[in-house]
Amino acid sequence: MPGDLAAQRDDALAIFAAGLEAADPARAVRRSLRIGLGGGAVTARDEVVFPGRLRVVAVGKAACTMARAVAEMLPAEAFPGPGIAVVNDENALEVERFRVLRSGHPLPDERGAAASLEVERYVSGARREDGLLVLLSGGGSALLPAPAEGISLDEKTAVTRLLLRAGADIRELNTVRKHTSRLKGGGLAARAHPASVEALILSDVIGDDLSTIASGLTAPDPTTFQAAREVLERRGVWPHAPASVRGRIERGIRGEVPETPKPGAPIFGRVLNRIVSGNSLSLDAAARKAAELDYAVAIASRALVGEAREAALALGRALDEAEARAAGRARPLALLAGGETTVTVRGRGTGGRNQELALAFALAMQARGPRASWTLLSAGTDGRDGPTDAAGATVDAGTIARGVAAGLDPGRSLDDNDSYAFLDASGDLLRTGATGTNVADLQVLLVGAGRRG
């Protein structure tokens, strides 16, 4: 690999690593939770006092890391435990004074259903003088499935699978999830009522919509049964959804099933939700690192969403604009983006949104003809891109040639949603392993000579 590309790859990884470090869940908890002890009470943020028992529930890919931070901050007399941490297999860790429950992700499993029951029992015994501290991070929707009465876990999972293959975005997915679940859409807060609830939230949702992150376990739900049906119809899933799901949604539309708790509901009078970290924080840290490495930095988008292939073309247009603004400057360019794209699966291959975006970008850049050296890293901050062992990919000006030399056709790979196979052959998959955090995706596009030495 040419020296410029090797240097660019090193820089891209360093910039991505800076974004990950900024989203460290333990640091976010320590930064956001101030706890004072006095008279046997626990005081959080110097505002909310829990004179009774303090319960702690952590849910998501960062659950164990966030729970460890709380265990380190709170002495045993203030929080004897045990709390509950619900996490996916890759991110499971032992945590002092916590029961760690493993659950399925990205598709729910029976372990998640059992964990949901454990969490329900744990929070339902809270009194008014008690407190519930909830630590939420991405992945919580799948990890705590709790299907609504009359819907089996398999039926709920089938709907999720159909929506994922249809390219539904996170808001659409969670609109349906909230209306086929017991704990989502404010259900966890409802079960903890009348205790005081504080949620520290690591956001994996662009725009930090509280009702969407982990399907809004502790937040009011502005969506409706009617909206859930519209999502299923718009994505072509309604006719294929299990009868139990369609029946519940139809009964909800007729008013025969209670809606999820809405903004202004009394149960939220003692609930405080706080975003403690998210994609924007990581993107800003990545920008600072790129500047430190002597790149001219431009933010292409703080909300790179939509179909992955279309997002790749949007990055190309943003590159043209950034290069036009930087005409005549000697410094190399770092064009950064954050967001979470989607893929409508039409083929039978394997891949993820970041891999598809990266391959589509490499193909589009090749079509433009020869140009200065460039490298694009596109990856999920959680270390997993779709149902693969890769976080994403790092592609460059030689990617297409390397894949073709291995006997693969990039256009056919894209058409079959088989970006994984092509990028594996070209040597461009990025494997980080589980990172312990989850704040959506980052894209790092570097153009011009990378640093040396």
Residue 408: name the closest of 346, 362, 370 by CA. Answer: 362
What pLDDT does 452 receive? Answer: 42
Both structure tokens of 74: 């709170």
Q: Roughly how many angstroms between the first and final C-alpha of the chain, as a whole number?
A: 16
What pLDDT does 76 receive? Answer: 86
Residue 357: name the closest of 405, 404, 390, 402 by CA. Answer: 390
325 and 441 in a single domain? The answer is yes
Range of the domain at 62: 24-146+181-223+260-277
43 and 56 in a single domain? The answer is yes
Say how far apart CA 176 and CA 178 lie, in whole Å: 5
199 and 285 in a single domain? The answer is no
What pLDDT does 103 receive? Answer: 97
214 and 291 in a single domain? The answer is no
Strand-strand pairing, 54-59 and 333-339: unpaired
Q: What is the DSSP-derived secondary structure letter of residue 207? A: T
Say how far apart CA 314 and CA 337 lie, in whole Å: 11
What pLDDT does 273 receive? Answer: 94
171 assigned to some structural domain: no
85 and 205 in a single domain? The answer is yes
Both structure tokens of 314: 């949007």
What pLDDT does 48 receive? Answer: 52
CB of 68 closer than 8 Å to CB of 137: no
How far does CA 298 lie from the centroid of its chain? 24
255 assigned to some structural domain: no
Say how far apart CA 109 and CA 215 lie, in whole Å: 17
CB of 265 closer than 8 Å to CB of 231: no
Q: Which residues of the chain have pLDDT under 50?
A: 46, 451-453
What pLDDT does 45 receive? Answer: 53
7 and 78 in a single domain? The answer is no
Residue 378: name the closest of 447, 452, 308 by CA. Answer: 308
268 and 138 in a single domain? The answer is yes
Strand-strand pairing, 296-304 and 333-339: parallel
213 and 291 in a single domain? The answer is no
297 and 443 in a single domain? The answer is yes
321 assigned to some structural domain: yes
365 and 348 in a single domain? The answer is yes
CB of 136 closer than 8 Å to CB of 213: yes
Q: What is the DSSP-derived secondary structure letter of residue 257? A: S
Q: Where are the beta strands (DSSP E) in 305-437?
A: 333-339, 374-380, 392-396, 429-430
Q: Residue 258 — left, alpha, or beta (φ > 0 → left; ψ -120 to 50 → alpha)?
A: beta
53 and 200 in a single domain? The answer is yes
Q: Find residue 275's DSSP bridge partners.
A: 201
56 and 8 in a single domain? The answer is no
Would you tell me the crossing angle of helices 153-165 and 243-253 to the nearest 10 degrees? Answer: 90
434 assigned to some structural domain: yes
CB of 356 closer than 8 Å to CB of 419: yes
